[in-house]
């Protein structure tokens, strides 16, 4: 995952040290990270009734799935209406996008697309408007 000013998180396993290094935009490490992202699909407009097992069942005819997760609200536990499916290979993921995007799952027309890496924001900010008040 590429972060602030080209720094990339390479390892963050439990019990091990955090390893990061600077990655150039055209580097092999960055291309490898993007390749890994190509296997992960975003599934939007899910029914509130769709769960991890239902998501897995809908996508499993297209290939080996390593993970299928419906994202839930941390407070209520209710579905947020989207999820992610990770395939073992790119070809299966591409076929699933082509076949399932715009189809119905549990009564809702779903959007299926390759997941995009999301930059984490620093959050907060100073809230200033850029002018001196004094």
**What does the alpha-carbon distance between residue 47 and residue 69 come to, in Å, rounded to a whole number?**
13
Q: Nearest CA to 4 among 26, 20, 28?
A: 20
* pLDDT tens string 92-104: 999 999 999 999 9
Specify whether the CB–CB gap between 94 and 101 falls below 8 A. no
- Say which CATH class 39-117 falls into: alpha beta
Q: Please tell me the total number of residues recorded for the chain in this structure.
A: 134
* pLDDT tens string 28-84: 665 565 555 549 999 999 999 999 999 999 999 999 999 999 999 999 999 999 999
Name which residue leads in pLDDT, 131 or 112.
Answer: 112
Main-chain dihedrals φ then ψ at residue 130, nearest 5 degrees: 85, 5
Q: What is the DSSP letter of 60?
A: G
* pLDDT of 85: 98
Task: Tell me the pTM.
Answer: 0.64
The structural domains of the chain, with segments of one domain joined by +, span: 1-10+19-37, 39-117
């Amino acid at each position: 995952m590429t972060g602030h000013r080209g720094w990339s998180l390479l390892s963050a396993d439990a019990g091990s040290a955090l390893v990061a290094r600077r990655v150039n935009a055209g580097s092999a490490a960055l291309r490898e990270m993007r390749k890994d992202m190509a296997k992960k699909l975003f599934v939007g407009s899910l029914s509130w009734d769709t769960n991890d097992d239902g998501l897995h069942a809908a996508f499993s005819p297209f290939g080996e799935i390593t993970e299928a997760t419906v994202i839930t609200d941390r407070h209520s536990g209710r579905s947020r209406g989207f999820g992610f499916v990770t395939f073992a290979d790119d070809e299966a993921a591409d076929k699933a996008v082509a076949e399932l995007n715009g189809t119905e799952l549990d009564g809702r027309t779903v959007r299926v697309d390759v997941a995009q890496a999301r930059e984490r924001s620093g959050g907060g900010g100073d809230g200033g408007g850029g002018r001196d008040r004094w």
